[in-house]
Amino acid sequence: MLIGILLFMFILFLGVTGYQAREINKEKVELLGSDTVFMVQRELELAVNSLEGYHREFYLPTKLNNLDYDILVSNNEVILTVNNQDFFLPVVGVTGQPRKETNIINKRESVVYLNQ
């Protein structure tokens, strides 16, 4: 009887711990997704507000919390999709697309070029 109660409590503990671990991972992915989109938005805003001839490189991770993700600029928004969840922020017109790892921004003739 005592062994049964202890086994039940142990299984209950494992279930609660597993649930909490999943929630922590979900929150971590949400923070990483939001931070990555915000970083791209800030890099593009900096380029738009800079002088002619601006050049800068920035880095995006290949994975977010060991999860693959997609990132693109569409309809004046930078959009990141990870784990069937979208994160997006508005951006001023830019020519080109962000990519994982090294990104290069240039401003020529008042146009911001990303990876072009």
**Predicted local distance difference test score (pLDDT) of residue 4:** 76
Number of structural domains the chain divides into: 1
Q: Give per-residue burial for 41-63: e unless 16+ CB within 10 Å, then b.
A: bebbeebbeeeeeeeeebebeee
Residue 36: CB atoms within 10 A of its CB come to: 20
Q: Which domain holds residue 34?
A: 2-114
pLDDT digits (tens, 9 = 90+) for 27-77: 888 999 999 999 999 999 999 999 999 999 999 999 999 999 999 999 999
**Predicted local distance difference test score (pLDDT) of residue 47:** 95
What Å distances lie between residue 16 and 39, 58, 76, CA to CA?
Answer: 35, 40, 42
The phi, psi pair for 99, rounded to 5°, reads -145, 160
Choice between 10 and 113, residue whose per-residue pLDDT is larger? 113
Q: What is the pTM of this model?
A: 0.81
Closest C-alpha to 32, from 82, 79, 72, 73: 82
Q: For residue 16, is pLDDT > 90?
A: no
Beta bridge partners of 72: 79
